[in-house]
Chain A
Amino acid sequence: MKKRGRGIATIMFGFGYGEGFPDHSIAAIEIKEQGPILVKTAAADVGQGVLTVLTQIAAEVLRVAPDRIVLSAGDTALTKNAGSTSATRQTYFTGSAVQKAAEGVLALLYHYGSLALHCNHPELVVKDGRVYRYDRPDHFMSYQELARLAHEKGELLQAEASFFPRTDAPDPETGQGERVYVAYTFMTQIAEVEVDTATGLVEVLRFDTALDLGKALNPQAVEGQIEGGTVMGMGMALMEEQVIKAGITLNPDLTGYLIPTALDCPPFYSRLVENKDAAGPFGAKGIGEPVTIGATPALANAIYAAIGIRFFELPITPDKIIKALRQEQGTNG
């Protein structure tokens, strides 16, 4: 028999290293006499899209099209410490550092622009790679020409900035602290499953997600994180386990260790709850880790809703489901 059920999970995640750790990111932006605007950061893009989001932040602040921005590849000889791509921190930390560096460069554009065009800052228009007096748009200077002007003075059209928020180390006896993490991301997910009581197989029918993320800098990339994180959580809930007995891994390959395939992927419906009241760039919070946390308990609760049995050990594999159903039949019959 196939039985359906819905399960809900609401989760939180305090992001950044927190706990008083010296967590920070340093970024620099330079406009040269030729070529694109260079953003220098060591932030590692592992596929999540931090380089894209940093491009958007720099382009937004500097009022240019994103294709005018180029990010340096991570290189310890050319970039400063950005901290790790972990703890759900890069958009918030390096995003803030890039935003601040871009604001520094924007201020320099006003500074050199007002010198070159003989006017004060309020009279200047800075946008689309050009600087001009509001009433003379044809008489403009490009950002690159202002870089040349700066170079003539022996200066660079460059700004470096860092983002280094305070957190507190919790008390060792009680774990209490005033500001242990910089901020928290919250999410609620509802999973619907169908459990086949003959085979123990769990089919995930859909996932509804509402994510409190402050502001979605790139909504499609956020959805991609939700979907990927949720399917990873499905793997943890239903199938994944590296089995080690007496120190020896019994399933060190992808035949013995199963992860979800396209056949397991359910439809997703996601809502991004924006409030923009977070302290990150443009009000954004981090989302990379929280999006994987809800799936496992939502599925466990959905399985309970479907067949009335709770599982306390992961993963909830078909053999465990069958065994539990038989036990229950035994006690009922």
Chain B
Amino acid sequence: MNERIIGKNLVKVDARAKVTGRALYPDDLYFAEMLYVKVKRAVHPHAILRKLEISRAQQLPGVVKIITAADYPELNNFGLIIKDQPVLVGIGEKMRYLGDALAIVVAESKEAAGQALAQIRVEVEELEVIDDPRRAMEEQAPLLHPDGNILCRHQLNKGELERGLAAADLIIEQEYKTNRVEQLPLQPEAGVCVYDQETGVLKLWVATQWLHDTQADIAQALGIPPERVRIIQPVIGGAFGKREDISVHIHLALAALATRRPVKLTYTREESMITQSKRHPMIIRAKSGATRDGYLTAWQVEIIGDTGAYASSGPAVVHKGLYHCTGPYNVENVRGIAYTVYTNNTYSGAMRGFGATQLAFAYESQIDILAHRLRIDPARFRYQNAYRPGSSTPNGQVLTDSVNVRETIKEAVQMSNWPGGVEL
């Protein structure tokens, strides 16, 4: 094929606007009569809200409106997969992490909104804070959500694990712990909303990784048809999974509805880190068996993923890790179980690699340990176990095309001047 443009280094179509400072990100938009929004967050990671006193804050100069759950009793929870996250915590309801919203302040300036936040008085009944997923899984642990602290459980069962372990000359078992990583896109969450009173449409200039899904979630939370929410995508300052979830969106919509004026909400970096999703910290127990001549026979994993206070992408992330538990290596006998568990930590969600990143640390460490223990060059060990056409994944999916993993090992070894110059 003679492709003229495919395969060429076309300069990014949006790069010129970015190097000149003309690209408009959400916080760069200004409208006449625009108001500024700030959100009063939870004061305790796990507590029942008993009292919310806003009258003093309401009287401060520049404060236009303070919205609480009492103003919108018909609001629905939101969430990417499971709708378990409240737009605003009401009296008698639970805050489950420090990012939960208690009140929305709308003011003439950022400063006025900030001063009002400090004047809102909150009384809570404190509950036990669960920051360890293993504690959350104990029978007598207090429940964070009505259906229990184990949000979901996924299983893998391929071949016969016991037979695979019996065939192994070497079995290693190890526990791995991965870290809570912040995606840290450089642009903090921000957005602008304008309520068009004639059409009844809420126009939002906000970042999202999925316009139509975000539109649907905002609309169902507010109890209006999706067509009444219009999302216009400004330039996005990075995402890495962090912009999958709702952030400023619904609070902006409520502020615009309540004041009928353009409104802007921009998170501080601290607010972004405490309120929005993280990479799931995982506890991974892996057991792997191989023959003396260096072929894998069995693989077993148990995964506990800390999904924090709300589900977000958690029900999809942790088992995606499970499904990648052996990496790109042929193993006939695989067994695994993955638990996605609620805690009072900042919720975990999507981040680049989506569970497969955490599992790679475990399987590539296991592989390296096996290779060294068997005194086989680690690159050779990988090469001889790696998938080829006809191999099957832990899910039993047979790979038929585009399976060039062995070529990547060969190429990388050759480029890097790998010690010993292993022949592949």
Q: What 1/0 flags go to B228-239 for Cβ under 8 Å of A? A: 011111001111
Bound Cα distance from A74 to B14, whole angstroms: 13
Whole-angstrom distance between the Cβ of A277 and the nearest chain B Cβ: 5
Given contacts A10-B327, A60-B4, A301-B378, contact A84 B269 (CB under 8 A): no
A12:B324 contact, CB within 8 angstroms: yes
Residues of B321-380 contacting chain A, CB below 8 A? 322-324, 327-328, 336, 344-346, 350, 352-354, 356-357, 360-361, 363-365, 368-369, 378-379
Q: Which of B11, B240, B416 contacts A190 (CB 8 A)?
A: B416
Whole-angstrom distance between the Cβ of A243 and the nearest chain B Cβ: 8
B344:A247 contact, CB within 8 angstroms: yes
Q: Is A252 an interface residue (CB 8 A)?
A: yes
Given contacts A289-B353, A304-B368, contact A47 B237 (CB under 8 A): yes
Q: What 1/0 flags go to A269-300 for Cβ under 8 Å of B? A: 10101010111001001001110111011101
Stretch at the interface among A129-137, A155-163, A178-186: A178-186
Bound Cα distance from A11 to B325, whole angstroms: 10
Bound Cα distance from A56 to B155, whole angstroms: 41
Residues of A1-55 contacting chain B, CB below 8 A? 6-14, 17, 42, 44-47, 49, 51-52, 55
| Chain A residues near B10 (CB-CB < 8 A) | 52, 55-56, 66, 218
B274:A188 contact, CB within 8 angstroms: no
Stretch at the interface among A111-119, A141-149, A194-202, A309-317: A309-317
Q: Is B405 an interface residue (CB 8 A)?
A: yes
Whole-angstrom distance between the Cβ of A31 and the nearest chain B Cβ: 17
Bound Cα distance from A88 to B190, whole angstroms: 24
Bound Cα distance from A173 to B335, whole angstroms: 11
Whole-angstrom distance between the Cβ of A241 and the nearest chain B Cβ: 4
Q: Is B247 an interface residue (CB 8 A)?
A: no
Q: How many residues of B contact A (CB 8 A)?
A: 117
| Chain B residues near A273 (CB-CB < 8 A) | 404, 407-408, 411
A6:B419 contact, CB within 8 angstroms: yes
B360:A297 contact, CB within 8 angstroms: yes
Q: Is A248 an interface residue (CB 8 A)?
A: yes
Given contacts A45-B14, A301-B378, contact A241 B210 (CB under 8 A): no
Stretch at the interface among B30-38, B103-111, B115-123, B391-399: B391-399
Given contacts A180-B393, A273-B408, contact A296 B361 (CB under 8 A): yes
Chain B residues proximal to chain A, CB less than 8 Å: 1, 3-14, 44-46, 97-98, 129, 131, 154-158, 174-182, 184-185, 207-213, 215, 226, 229-233, 236-241, 243-244, 269-270, 273-274, 278-279, 316, 319-320, 322-324, 327-328, 336, 344-346, 350, 352-354, 356-357, 360-361, 363-365, 368-369, 378-379, 382, 386-387, 393-399, 401-405, 407-413, 415-416, 418-419
Closest 4 CB pairs of A and B: A247-B45, A297-B364, A74-B233, A84-B210
